[in-house]
Amino acid sequence: MKQKVTVVGAGNVGATAAQRLAEKELCDVIVVDIIEGVPQGKSLDLTQAAPIEKHDAHLTGANSYEASANSDIVIITAGIPRKPGMSRDDLLSTNRGIIRSVTKEVVKYSPNAILIIVSNPLDAMCHVAMEESGFPKHKVIGMAGVLDSARFRAFISMELSVSVENIHALVMGGHGDTMVPLPRFSTVAGVPITELIPATRIEEMVTRTRNGGAEIVSLLKTGSAYYAPASAAVEMAESILKDKKKILPCAAYLTGEYGISDLFVGVPVKLGAKGIEQIIELKLSAEEQQALKKSASAVQELVDAMKKMA
C-alpha cells in the first residue's frame, strides 16, 4: 500500500487502532513500542489474521523509529493509562515526558506527518506535541471529541432504542470532567434530541458522557477504555487518508475562535488530506459559550502547570 501510518504504543489502544487500520485496509501499519517483542508479536498476530479478515495491509512491529520513516500519519497512544481513582490530570507529569521523547523521534523520521494525539491528559499533550515538533497547528490534532460524541451517541441510542447510524451528537471542550455535550446540536435523523427526550433525562445522559471514561475504568479496575478510543482515532485517520473532509469534533489549536486563543480545545473541524482544513464556528448560546470557556480554563490550568515543570 502507498499510505503508511505509525501507531506509537502497542498497548490496548495502540494495538486495537492497528487492527482497525489494517482491517479497513486504509494503509500499511507500523507499531512502535519500547517493550521488546510486544509490537513485533502483536503485528505478527494481526498479520496471521489477515487471510481470514481478507485484507492485504502490511503490519510491522519495531522497538525503534527507523521503521516509521515517511509516515503519512502518526497516532500517538504512548503513556501510562488511568487507574481507578486517578483523574486524567494525574497523568500530566509522567505522560508529558513520554510525549516529548516520542514526538522528537517521530519528527526525526517523519517530518511531513500529521500527528493524532490520544495520550491523556489529551489537550495538554497536544501542546507538548506541537511545541516539541514545531509543526503548524493544522498538523497536530487531538482525539477526544470523536470519542466523547460517540459515547453520547451510544447513550442516546440506548435511551430511544434507535440505530446509532441515525444519531449525530456533538461534544466540545476539553477531554475531561468539564467537557461540553451539546444536546441542541445532537439529533436523531435530523430531529434534535431536545424534542425527543425529557430535559432531566438529557442532563443525566450528559453527566454520564462526561464520566464515560471513568465509568469504564471503575468497571475494568485494571485499565481504561480502548475499543472506542481506537475507533475514534482511526475515524480521524481515515478522513485524512481518504481526504474525506468529514466534520468531526477534535482538539484543535485555537487562535481566537470561540473567543479562545493559544489553546487546544475540542471543536468541530473539517479533516482532510492536509489535516485540519477548517475550524467550524457555531453560534453558541450564552450558557453554552460559558460552559466552553470554563472547559478551556481547565485546559489552561494544565498548560500553566506544565510551564512550571519546565
CA distance 29 to 9: 12
Query: Does the pLDDT of residue 148 top 90, yes or no?
Result: yes
Domain locations in the chain? Answer: 4-142, 145-309
Query: Does the pLDDT of residue 156 top 90, yes or no?
Result: yes
Query: Does the pLDDT of residue 1 top 80, yes or no?
Result: no
Query: Does the pLDDT of residue 86 top 70, yes or no?
Result: no
Report, as an integer, the average pLDDT of 166-184: 96
CATH of 145-309, picked from 3.90.1300.10, 3.40.50.300, 3.20.20.120, 3.90.110.10, is 3.90.110.10
What's the pLDDT at 223?
A: 84
Residue numbers annotated as active site: 175
What's the pLDDT at 82?
A: 65
Helices (H), the chain: 12-23, 38-53, 92-109, 122-133, 145-160, 199-210, 212-220, 227-241, 286-309
Same fold, 4-142 and 145-309: no
What's the pLDDT at 176?
A: 87
Q: How confident is the model at residue 256 (pLDDT cuts 50, 70, 90)?
A: very high
Assign a CATH topology to domain 4-142. Answer: Rossmann fold (3.40.50)
**What's the start-to-end Cα distance of the chain, in Å?**
41
